[in-house]
Amino acid sequence: MQNLEKIYDFHNHVVYGVDDGSDSLETSIKMLQQAADQGVTNVVCTPHQFEPIAPTYPSKRQENIVERFNILKKSIKDRKIPIELSLGSEIMFFGNMKKYLSLPYFSINDNKKYVMIEFRLIGPPINYVDVFYDLVVNGYKPILAHPERINGLYNDRTNLIKLLKMGVLFQINTGSILGLLGTRAKIISKKYLENNWIHLLGSDAHSLNFRRSFSMQKGIEYISKYYPNVNLKEILETNPKAVINGEHVEVDISNINFEVKSTTNGINKLINKIFKKNKKLL
Ligand SMILES: [Fe+2]
């Protein structure tokens, strides 16, 4: 195992009572104790954000999130749980997302730069490359949450490579790597690990339930054992620290393989053709 001074969990729902994650302060404290027991030193809290619909949105909801985050922060300090908390969001992709991104803590650590965006699991939105491009040219640095969980997204490699070239960061879930989120996510997460298309790691913990709990230690051990090509120090310490501080993170695209190796079906052959054709445009 590589020498790690810090271990950041970059994705979880440990702020209580604000989404489908932790249901109480007590649960949140237990979850964070569990994380600390696994060696996690820093937790970036990322409550869900959906398309704002209520007239008062997001002020009241954001106030609740910030208030509960601060209570949680104080509670773990009082109990001497050695974890440092930061606050951000996991924003569900929607059309007019850009106008909400400067709201308090929609960005990671409220730095108005890095924004973590998720797609619906049923499949990627049609125009995601255009929307991400628009965000990038407007000064944002998008992070794509758990791409390995999105149905069909990995087959859209031409566009995924475009995202990487734009500097979009990919956050992978430990639960996917360990097979806790289904076979498909496990298989696809291996592709991201093989390609080194992983810039941040998160538990996506929602509760104390084994399947959705902090599973960082086992995830790190798994990567360390089977994917020595992955730089754990980078994904667990250097990159998250830079993101929180709003600093640049280099996305390495030197290893991008334009050939899709598997030839199990005709679609892959077609993708190879498109890769070759688009190589100059990318
Ligand atoms: Fe999440």
pLDDT in tens, 91-137: 999 878 888 898 899 999 999 999 999 999 999 999 999 999 999 99
Distance from residue 62's CA to the centre of ligand 1 (Å): 17
Distance from residue 11's CA to the centre of ligand 1 (Å): 6
Tell whether the model's pLDDT for residue 78 goes beyond 60. Answer: yes
Distance from residue 202's CA to the centre of ligand 1 (Å): 9
pLDDT, tens only, 152-186: 999 999 999 999 999 999 999 999 999 999 999 99
Distance from residue 51's CA to the centre of ligand 1 (Å): 15
| pLDDT for 278 | 42
Distance from residue 281's CA to the centre of ligand 1 (Å): 33
Kindly tell me the sign of the dihedral angle through the C-alpha atoms of 238, 201, 123, 50: negative
Distance from residue 250's CA to the centre of ligand 1 (Å): 24
Distance from residue 179's CA to the centre of ligand 1 (Å): 16
Lowest mean pLDDT among 37-51, 92-106, 196-210: 92-106
| pLDDT for 1 | 59
Tell whether the model's pLDDT for residue 208 goes beyond 90. Answer: yes
Distance from residue 43's CA to the centre of ligand 1 (Å): 13
Distance from residue 255's CA to the centre of ligand 1 (Å): 28
pLDDT, tens only, 114-125: 999 999 999 999
Contact 70, 25 (CB under 8 A): no
| pTM passes above 0.85 | yes
| pLDDT for 281 | 41
Per the prediction, the chain carries an average pLDDT of 90
Q: Which two tokens stand for residue 263?
A: 């030839």
Distance from residue 174's CA to the centre of ligand 1 (Å): 12
Distance from residue 146's CA to the centre of ligand 1 (Å): 8
Distance from residue 137's CA to the centre of ligand 1 (Å): 26
| pLDDT for 266 | 52
Tell whether the model's pLDDT for residue 55 goes beyond 60. Answer: yes
| pLDDT band at residue 3 using 50, 70 and 90 as cut-offs | confident
Q: Domains (ranges, CATH) in the chain?
A: 8-251 (3.20.20.140), 258-282 (no CATH)
| pLDDT for 89 | 97
Question: In the chain, which ranges are continuous DSSP H helix?
Answer: 25-37, 59-78, 128-137, 157-166, 174-177, 183-195, 216-226, 232-233, 239-244, 266-278
| pLDDT for 49 | 93
pLDDT, tens only, 250-281: 998 877 765 444 444 554 455 455 445 444 44
Lowest mean pLDDT among 6-20, 73-87, 244-258: 244-258
Distance from residue 199's CA to the centre of ligand 1 (Å): 16
Among residues 10, 105, 31, the alpha carbon closest in space to that of 75 is found at 31
Distance from residue 266's CA to the centre of ligand 1 (Å): 34
Share of the chain above pLDDT 90, in %: 78
Contact 161, 256 (CB under 8 A): yes
Distance from residue 145's CA to the centre of ligand 1 (Å): 7
| pLDDT for 237 | 98
Distance from residue 282's CA to the centre of ligand 1 (Å): 30
Distance from residue 263's CA to the centre of ligand 1 (Å): 33
| pLDDT for 38 | 96
Distance from residue 46's CA to the centre of ligand 1 (Å): 7
Q: How far apart are CA 143 and CA 200, in angstroms?
A: 9
Tell whether the model's pLDDT for residue 205 goes beyond 90. Answer: yes
Distance from residue 264's CA to the centre of ligand 1 (Å): 32
Q: Which helix (H) or strand (E) holds 9?
A: strand 8-9
- For residue 175, the SS3 value is helix
| pLDDT for 273 | 54
